[in-house]
């Protein structure tokens, strides 16, 4: 079983600019980058035109470390405290469920743990200390 913690930055429409900045400033290498428009569309929730070119998910490598990014949807506020989350990655869905259940105790669920097009089990919780965690299970497309 693998277990890894990665900082995840939520940006307000400027993730692409931030990635380019870190490429120059920190010699980062882009490992993955996808806009919301490049992701599979959910017919029940059509994608707003203003969101199409925003980054849906990206990962860069800086030295031996990785940093993940996403833009918010237009109009979704980025507030101090929710701009940086921690992505916990594992390849074991049972471990993901255990982490999800433990972290939500005394905290709150932002997104229930569920299957997504990119993960067999993905969810977001804010723990009782106000720290937001994305629980990501590897197994479909790597995030």
d(Cα 1, Cα 91) in Å, to the nearest integer? 6
What pLDDT is stored for residue 142 in this prediction?
A: 47
Give CA angle at 71 (143, 4), nearest 5°. 30
Is the sign of the CA dihedral 96, 125, 85, 139 positive or negative? positive
pLDDT digits (tens, 9 = 90+) for 121-138: 999 999 887 888 999 999
pLDDT digits (tens, 9 = 90+) for 1-26: 889 999 999 888 999 999 999 999 88
Q: How many CA atoms lie within 13 A of 62 on its CB side?
A: 15
Over residues 105-125, the mean pLDDT reads 94
> Does residue 122 contact residue 137 with C-beta atoms inside 8 Å?
yes
What pLDDT is stored for residue 41 in this prediction?
A: 84
For the chain, the straight-line distance linking the first and the last C-alpha, in angstroms and rounded, comes to 17
Strand 29-35, strand 84-90: pairing: unpaired
pLDDT at 82 over 80: no
Over residues 75-79, the mean pLDDT reads 76
What pLDDT is stored for residue 81 in this prediction?
A: 61
pLDDT digits (tens, 9 = 90+) for 28-68: 999 999 999 999 888 888 888 999 999 999 999 998 899 99
What pLDDT is stored for residue 73 in this prediction?
A: 85
d(Cα 28, Cα 16) in Å, to the nearest integer? 13
């Amino acid at each position: 079983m693998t277990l890894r913690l990665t900082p995840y930055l939520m940006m307000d429409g400027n993730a692409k600019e931030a990635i380019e900045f870190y490429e120059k400033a920190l010699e980062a290498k882009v490992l993955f980058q996808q806009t919301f428009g490049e992701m599979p569309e959910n017919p029940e929730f059509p994608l707003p035109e203003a969101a199409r070119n925003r980054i849906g998910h990206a990962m860069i490598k800086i030295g031996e470390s990785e940093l993940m990014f996403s833009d918010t949807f237009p109009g979704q506020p980025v507030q101090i405290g929710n701009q940086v989350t921690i992505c916990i990655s594992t390849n074991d869905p049972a471990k993901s469920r255990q982490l999800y259940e433990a972290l939500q105790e005394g905290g709150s669920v932002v997104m229930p743990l569920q299957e997504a097009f990119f993960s067999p089990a993905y969810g977001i919780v804010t723990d009782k200390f106000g720290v937001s965690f994305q629980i990501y299970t590897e197994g479909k497309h790597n995030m």
